Structure 1
Amino acid sequence: MTPHAAPPAPPAPDTAGQRRPARGRALWLAVLLGVLAALVWASITIGSRDVPWADVLAALGGSTDGFDRAAVAKRIPRTLLALLAGSALAVSGAVMQGVTRNPLADPGILGVNMGASLAVAAGIAYFGLASATGFVWVAIAGAGATAVFVYMIGSLGRGGASPLKLALAGAATSAALASSISAVVLPRGDIADGVRSWQIGGVGGGTFDDIAQVLPFLAVGLLLGLLSARGLNLLALGDDLAAGLGERVAAARTTASAAAVVLCGATTAATGPIGFVGLVVPHVFRLLVGVDHRWLLPFSALGGAALLTAADILGRVVARPGEIDVGIVTALIGGPFFIYIVRRQKVRDL
């Protein structure tokens, strides 16, 4: 190198591993939107009783005369809640994985869902909370406190917050919080059945009023998450290099973490704790569209909506005339996937 030669430029955040052909992304987007439209239609028509298309169209036009049309009117908010909750959980998981550079990060695995659940259960038992709006505020507070606690515990000792330590800290915290929920609820027979049913995680009780009360929080969380995409790309390069490229590391990590907590808390308030959506969906779409969060987060939102809607449909089909709550279905799907990720990644950082 001559004395006047310029030093080599640092690598750009959009690395080769992040790039994918635009045509491929457009193709996957078209496929995903088609699958999502088919799932929405199936969610409205399939249940303990299948509804003919004519009745579906009549119900969408505002008619509720007859059993089938009334059933459709109840399934529409259920489907909408599944779409919103799946999107929020998937984006929350993708953001958590980006912030912590941990392939095992997920609101359920890290105990964040359970922290929100304990806050809601305590609010119902001790403060008489009964509205979705009240649930949201305490759920977000509980989710945030749990996220900070788990990260602090996982950061102790040599090596800092490794994926394995965070997963173990989250699992231990989740177990402790689940026991705490039982301790809060069991003495209160008047609320025990309702809280236990809600704690499984489901979208069957969704109404337009509940959705309207949590929608602003979900919108803010999704917006913050999408705006954090560039910062997450830079954080993936390491804190020192991100700072060298002009990124305010602390602010980027705080904003992204706030988005994940708001999304997780608001969703838990509306549906109860639903696990593994935030683990499965981001991993799948990293393989399809790359690790660039500017693409990963929107695709994860659509994929999460599709996964939770499909899980809800499956829960209705396999147990007719009853149904299996969507939280159980996602656990059956996500448990083996979690084991696969652990074996494949060997608990390395992203």
Structure 2
Amino acid sequence: MQCFVEADLSAWTTLGVPARAKELLVLEDETDLARWFERRESAPMPELVLGGGSNVVFLEDFAGRVVRLAIRGRELLGEEGGARFVRAAAGEPWDGFVRWCVTQGWGGLENLAAIPGSVGAVPVQNVGAYGLEVSERIAWVEGMDRDTGQTWRFSGNECGFGYRTSRFKAAEASSRVITAVVFRLAGDEPPRLEYPDLQRWFGGRAQRVSPADVYAAVREIRARKLPDPRVQGNVGSFFKNPLVSPEVAERLAAIHPDLPRHPQPDGRVKLAAGWMIERCGLKGVREGGAMVHERQALVLCNAGGATGADFLALARRVRETVAERFGVRLEVEPVLVGREGVVQRLT
């Protein structure tokens, strides 16, 4: 276990904003979990568990302990009913794990290629892209309660998955720490190619498309659309696509016929937040060093020297502008962290 005091957090997040924590622990081995418990008892303070840092925005310095889960490991647990059960530790880099599965010839996760972050963070947000949500592939999630030290295991059905959410995001889940995720990868499932970008990419070649083909295509498509966080700091999509009632969707469609609309199984309609932000003329708009990306309006990026306060001001500006024009209030997707911990709402 590595321990840093008055730690600079800018290198531990993909956004790269300046922020410090009173203490930073990096857990690299399962035995480090016990050392963490000892540290918590000897020096109690507010805590925040950090994965790959790809979905968090530090608005200011954090007056507590940041715990970085960097425990690695991946294995095939076995096969049952034509499906493979593959386990990955929480600290495994997500894209590296997806690439490893594809290299083994195991399809099922390739639509989620090139997403930054760690395996342990993926269930929290119920990450989704290119026609697939990770909840469709999760068999169960393993973890522990950091207050009691007891381990737990939730099946996929027990995880409370929804659009960009899960039971792990709820306030009452703050003591739960994900240590590993087990995925169920069906051996006979055809590639998931319904997403428009993939339809255009592969055309009529669906019968000859392999998981490796889809993985390569998604990486290329994402690279064309989204900025690389290693080059320009960002957390991917900064806002969720809003879910509205059919009545609201119809009202907006009457005014904006080209507004993308996607009916959902629960009867609601998903709207395209990026489309609305772009129609508000906000591409390239800045607040300090924070900027709405010039190619993808759903991404707020670090244009140089941005602070957490810059991103907070820009997010408020975007949300207020969209609400004024469309009557729809956007929700922030990444976790916002203030001095005392997670900020529950963008006020």
Q: TM-score, normalised by structure 1?
A: 0.24
Q: Which has the higher contact order (CA 8 A, sep 6+)?
A: 1
Greater Rg over alpha carbons, structure = 1
Q: Higher strand share goes to which structure?
A: 2
Q: TM-score, normalised by structure 2?
A: 0.24
